[in-house]
Amino acid sequence: MQVSVETTGKLERKVRVELPEEKVSTEVNNRLQNLTKTTRVQGFRPGKVPLKVIKGRYGTQVRKEVVGELVQSSFYEAINQENLKPAGPPKIDDIADEAGSDLSYTATFEIYPEVTLKPMDSIKLEKPVCTVTDDDISKMIDILRKQRRELKPVDRAAQVNDIIDINFEGFIDGEAFEGGKAENYQLELGSKSFIEGFEDGLIGKGTDEDVTLNLTFPDDYGNEQLKGKPVKFKVKINTVNEAVLPEVNASFMEAFGVKDGNEETFRSELRRNMEREVEATLRRQLKTLVLDKLHEENTVELPQSMVANERHRVQHDLENNLKQQGLDGSAIAKADPSVFNEQAEKRVSLQLIVAEIIKQNELKAEPAKVREMIENAAAGYEDPSAVINWYYSDQKNLAEMEALALEEDVIDWVLANANVTEKACTFDEVMNKGQTAT
């Protein structure tokens, strides 16, 4: 076998392979000889069909099969011989497979790039840390009380923290606009859930009162068609309700699994839950922070075949996610794939960077850690043992969790070797949902 390699781009290689005709013809003849023993042809006894007859009937087909198999096997032999690592499947061209002549073809493909990592100790990372305080717990108790509040209709003007039941409709230039109308909407005054001026304009108003509010949508409003537009809202107040919060007593605490009626037990249980929650959230945030930093600090030449595959995967995953939510994913399916190029390039870049860290440091997925991750994932299901068995029943299933465990090891390795400083954050800042806001 003769192999020649041509560099046609930074990562693109064109490999020319030639195989002697003897290798092809020998294999073709062997297969045809075997067919004489097993093929039934009318007029001949089983196993006595002449080779000439078999060749006439099946020669072209058999040669095509042999050539296809030899192209595949010789390609892998050639890239091993030349120490090439394809980043994607090859494009096979210029196949010359005429009987009596040597078999030759050209394979064009991209190779994996050489990844040179920036020294890890030169990479600066700010690691968020959080301590759950007594004040955080008190705020969380207030939130839990609000979730179980009772609404008591009152015969007075509405004030901050009241829950009012309203009908409203919005008009721009005298025309009602889509999404600007609702009936029996419950609005907590002071929640700032409407545009500026809406809630303030209803404070001091009473049941059955009609109110007209002349306001303006903010310039950064989410709906492009409404940004900065003057709007008139016509509001009818149906009822004014005072929010009555439950006492933190034995009955209240029992609803959250604390049966001894002790407030300190209740606060301790809340602290444990909040600490678990904040720890998991910090870990997710830290993982994103580390991967973003690795991508930012390391430039990698990207095989476009890998980017194209990842682009398709991003598009397909987004379409499926929308469908699972009951939404129409057809627009995503029809979108220009280049829209997903930036995300695909980042994913491929990180795949190559992470793989290089794993290779250089000989990181391996520890079975005990993989088992722990599988058990944690299974804990949320009705039958955890069935989920655990599913992972271990098939190497493909297990490989998914092993890859996640390896990725976690990479995150830990980066944190251990990078220039890391800590940044103190509050519980509310970490959770990013105003969970402790009162």
* Residue 143 covered by a domain: no
**Distance of alpha carbon 26 from the chain centroid:** 51
3-class DSSP assignment, residue 414: helix
Based on the domain organization, do 373 and 291 belong to the same domain? yes
327: domain CATH number is 1.10.3120.10
Question: What are 438's strand-pairing partners?
Answer: none
Cβ count near 305 (within 10 Å): 19
Q: What is the pLDDT of residues 169-179, one digit of tens each?
A: 999 999 999 98
Least confident of 106-110, 114-118, 429-433: 429-433
Q: Which of 64, 130, 123 is nearest to 97 (CA)?
A: 64
Q: What is the pLDDT of residues 65-106, one digit of tens each?
A: 999 999 999 999 999 999 999 999 999 999 998 888 899 999
Based on the domain organization, do 196 and 51 belong to the same domain? no
> Which pLDDT value is given to residue 369?
93
Based on the domain organization, do 233 and 374 belong to the same domain? no
The residue out of 55, 89, 110 marking a domain boundary is 110
Q: Which domain covers residue 229, as residue numbers?
A: 150-244
Task: Give the confidence band of 311 by pLDDT, cuts at 50, 70, 90.
Answer: very high
> Which pLDDT value is given to residue 358?
96
Q: Which of 23, 15, 10, 8 is nearest to 83 (CA)?
A: 15
Based on the domain organization, do 220 and 324 belong to the same domain? no
Identity of the residue numbered 139: K
**How far is residue 375's CA from residue 384's CA, in Å, rounded to a whole number?**
7
Identity of the residue numbered 288: T
* Residue 81 covered by a domain: yes
Contact predicate 374/385, CB 8 Å: no
* Residue 258 covered by a domain: no
Instruction: Give me the DSSP letters along 324-379.
Output: HTT---HHHHHS-GGGGHHHHHHHHHHHHHHHHHHHHHT----HHHHHHHHHHHHT
State pTM to two decimals. Answer: 0.77
Residues with Cβ within 8 Å of 239's Cβ and at least 6 positions away in sequence, in order, are 153, 164, 165, 207
Q: What is the pLDDT of residues 238-251, one digit of tens each?
A: 999 999 999 999 99
Based on the domain organization, do 325 and 393 belong to the same domain? yes
**How far is residue 317's CA from residue 336's CA, in Å, rounded to a whole number?**
15
Q: How far is CA 279 from CA 84, 130, 254, 283, 291, in A?
A: 44, 8, 26, 6, 18
The domain total for the chain is 3
Based on the domain organization, do 293 and 331 belong to the same domain? yes
